[in-house]
């Protein structure tokens, strides 16, 4: 099994708690992260993902610091929430040397377009294809495609990792 990779993103302007944030990983995966409660624009969110096996190795990156004006706004916003922030703390760029005090999300074991089996409410297992992956505080959530109904409409189901198998 592949080793999860940790990545950090900063919540962009206009995105608030509870909203979905679309993130593209360096290997091209598209993930959706639910912005946790108490987190708003300018706040960092850290999550893990499993890199695709055939993806190029990650590019070495350097530590990135916030612009002084952004750092001041970030520190004030965190202090307003009662969170103490060090002014010199860098924002993570994936080097593993940074200190992170935000939210972490469990890595998803399945990727969009993976074929697997889903346990149905009846207990039977059905072949499916992963349509979307949502990283949430409760763990990865998946929307799976089960085929078409008698009218030709797509049938999907939302489930968590416990419902999926290879």
Backbone angles phi, psi at 163, to 5 degrees: -85, -5
pLDDT reported for residue 78 = 64
114-155 residue pLDDT tens? 899 998 888 899 999 998 888 887 788 898 998 888 888 888
pLDDT, tens only, 64-74 = 555 666 666 76
Query: Torsions phi, psi of 79, nearest 5?
Result: -65, -35
Of the residues 25, 56, 80, the one at which a domain ends? 80
5-60 per-position pLDDT tens digit: 888 888 888 888 888 888 888 888 888 888 888 888 888 888 888 887 654 455 55
Domain CATH code at residue 120: 2.30.30
Residue 149 lies in a domain: yes
Q: How many domains does the chain have?
A: 2
Tokens 């990792």 belong to residue = 161
pLDDT score recorded for residue 85: 56
For residue 139, the enclosing domain spans 115-165
Q: What's this model's pTM, rounded to 2 decimal places?
A: 0.44
């Amino acid at each position: 099994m592949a080793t999860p990779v940790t990545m950090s993103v900063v919540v962009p302007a206009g995105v608030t708690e509870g909203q979905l944030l679309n993130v593209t990983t360096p290997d091209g995966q598209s993930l959706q992260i639910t912005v946790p409660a108490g987190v708003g624009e300018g706040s960092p969110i850290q999550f893990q993902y499993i890199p695709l096996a055939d993806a190029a190795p990650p590019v070495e990156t350097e530590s990135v610091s916030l612009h002084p004006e952004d750092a001041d706004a970030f520190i004030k916003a965190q202090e307003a929430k009662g969170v103490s922030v060090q002014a010199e703390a860098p924002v993570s760029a994936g080097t593993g040397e940074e200190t992170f005090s935000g939210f972490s999300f469990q890595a998803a074991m399945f990727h969009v377009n993976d074929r697997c089996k889903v346990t149905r409410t009846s207990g039977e297992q059905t072949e499916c294809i992963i349509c979307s992956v949502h990283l949430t505080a409760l763990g990865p959530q998946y929307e799976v495609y089960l085929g078409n109904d008698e009218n030709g409409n797509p049938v999907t189901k939302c489930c968590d990792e416990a419902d999926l198998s290879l």
